[in-house]
Amino acid sequence: MYLRAERTSDWDLHLYCVRSMLSIFHAAGHFQYAKSAHLYLQEMTELKSRMSRNEFDQFISSGFFTIRRTHDFWGCISLDMAIEQSLMRLLKVQGGLTHGRGVSENQLAYFVLSFPGCMKICEALERLTGISRASTEQHVDLRDSRRAADERDYTSFKRWFENHSPWADSGSLHSLSTGIEGDKTINCHDAFAVGSKGVAMMLNKAFGSVSLSRKSRVLSLATVTDAIKVRDEVVPVNPQALFMRLVWVINRDPGSLSKYLSYELATRPPALFDDISMRKNAKSTLLEVFESFPASELPLEDSQKVVDGGYLLRALVWPKPATFGALIEAYIRHVIRHYSKDATVIFDGYSEQMSTKTAEQKRRASKRTSPNIHFDLQTTVTVPQADFLSNSQNKARLINLLSQTLESEGVRVRQAIADADALIVKTALDIAREKNKVVVVGTPTC
């Protein structure tokens, strides 16, 4: 609607659009735009009393608040856009005001006011030489190249929405492209209501006394990955801005950083506890208990394999770029090629209830972070493999999808209630009682 108001020189529609944008400015945290737009609307509303009747009629009826090349087609541009595309371009080109000259108010006035005289000189030179510089009246949107580009864009958008339906009822607020899920703190879908409260805060107040807080802006899905919790309040964090501020502190006072980091802020002995629970020993030390055999002596032929699902998820390196459907197909090919369809794949359990696996899952998740991702076979993978698998909910969804596909291909799949190590050993013993050869495929210490 705003573009339509500018292109058609519709003054009433222009003011209506600016007034409608106020709540969006407040909700997005663009407070300078919000304050300026409030002042702009107030002054433009009083414009009728400051101009003569004839000037005001030309301003709103004849389109004098916009600029157009021609009256042959629908194509006006705003005054600020004309300044950016024409005046600012002339300032920066070779021979412009900013090349080898200072920019004072006096020099800028001479530069701008000399344009009419320069135009007469250019017209006289064109008549003298018989050469004129002119462009076609055809609108750029009607050119073959622009129409071909529009057709490609339309096809891309249509194909994308066919694979990412916005009408699917998933029961959660999530990104259509990445699948990242939002929690109850995400309120970007209520941007108009939140912004309207910010607009109400500015009514009947002097412009200089208005103070807007960042707490009143909405939280988008970006805060799921770039946010910290301070006193039960989710605060969006820009890692690049935070890094630049730390660099500024270090450069300003190099000795201050070491002073601030010299204090012990731990509430319990870091040598015994980490952020999750009591520290544990390395699992690799269990290898010293078991007797190892060369791989060539293991009975691999004519044996039935029992595959640790946790090992399987990490044994395959995810290709880039890829969709989750392509990943599932890659896992299926890997299992059938290396272990055959007679293999039994056993996965860990990831229920919401507390179990023997809960502490270990939290410990692994503390090393890497990944938001909850709502995905299907057509969703593109945008998160690194290690980060994705560190999230228990993402891992549980991938296991459910992979289990269904494996079973449809004839591969037996079992899932433990919690940790799968005991179930893997029990399954291997049950198979060994029926057959002579069974091989457990997994990490050395399970």
Q: Which of 90 and 393 is assigned the larger pLDDT?
A: 393
d(C-alpha 317, C-alpha 321), whole Å: 12
Band (pLDDT 50/70/90 cuts) for residue 446 is: very low
Q: What's the chain's average pLDDT?
A: 79
* Residue 47 covered by a domain: yes
In 10 A of CB 323, how many CB atoms? 16
* Residue 237 covered by a domain: no
pLDDT at residue number 251: 77
* Residue 436 covered by a domain: yes
Helices (H), 285-418: 309-315, 324-339, 358-367, 385-390, 392-408
Q: Tell me the average pLDDT across 95-116.
A: 75
Check pLDDT > 50 for residue 342.
yes
pLDDT at residue number 445: 55
* Residue 254 covered by a domain: no
- Which strand (E) or helix (H) includes residue 247? helix 239-252
Q: Tell me the average pLDDT across 96-112.
A: 74
pLDDT at residue number 156: 92
* Residue 395 covered by a domain: yes
Domain boundary among 87, 115, 134: 134
Domain boundary among 134, 158, 178: 134
* Residue 416 covered by a domain: yes
> Highest-confidence range of 148-157, 178-187, 223-232, by mean pLDDT?
148-157
Q: What is the pLDDT of residues 355-411, one digit of tens each?
A: 666 666 666 655 666 777 888 888 888 888 888 888 888 888 889 899 999 998 888
> Highest-confidence range of 108-112, 301-305, 411-415, by mean pLDDT?
411-415
Check pLDDT > 50 for residue 54.
yes
Q: What is the pTM of this model?
A: 0.52
Residue 68 domain boundaries: 2-134
* Residue 377 covered by a domain: yes
Domain boundary among 134, 153, 171: 134
CATH number of the domain encompassing residue 307: 3.40.50
Q: What's the total number of domains in the chain? A: 2
Band (pLDDT 50/70/90 cuts) for residue 155 is: very high
**Can you point out the beta strands (E) in 116-232?**
227-230
* Residue 11 covered by a domain: yes
**DSSP assigned state of 85:** I
Band (pLDDT 50/70/90 cuts) for residue 149 is: very high
